Amino acid sequence: MSKIKLKDNKIKTNCTNCFKSNHIVFNFAYISYCENFEKEDKKTLIDRMFEVSSVTYLELRRWDKYKGFEEERIEIRKEIPKRFINEIESFDGKYSILRLYKNNVPTPGRIIGKIVNKVFYVFYIDAKGVLYNHGS
């Protein structure tokens, strides 16, 4: 009787430290600003994280900036955490921004960080919208 050889169906990749999920993940290791963050803001943050984590990354990227993320070069009144630049990658100047309150009501609060390989590294939780000029 002959033996049947089974093929090795493992996925081979050159990436040794990549996150392999279809959804975004939040990382708070580099947070450096979180002032005026009240109880209601905390509840809203959890709700927003749940909302954006419940859809695939591909679907999330299709959402407009009022509901999902926007990538922007902005002038922030705080420095980007140096540990992030040293440990993750060189910062290209564009921030990933998620509105804390979708319609800016009651505040123009933002969660500001950088998305790298489907991980949203949170740098600032700006519950009152004071870290940068939001325009008109």
Three-state secondary structure readout of 38-56:
CHHHHHHHHHHHHHHHCCC
Where do the domains of the chain lie? 25-126
Omega within 30 of 0 (cis) for the link into 108:
no
pLDDT digits (tens, 9 = 90+) for 77-131: 777 777 777 776 667 888 999 999 887 888 889 999 999 889 999 999 998 888 8
Q: How far apart are CA 133 and CA 136, in angstroms?
A: 9
pLDDT digits (tens, 9 = 90+) for 43-67: 999 999 999 999 999 999 999 999 9
Element (H, E) at 121: strand 119-126
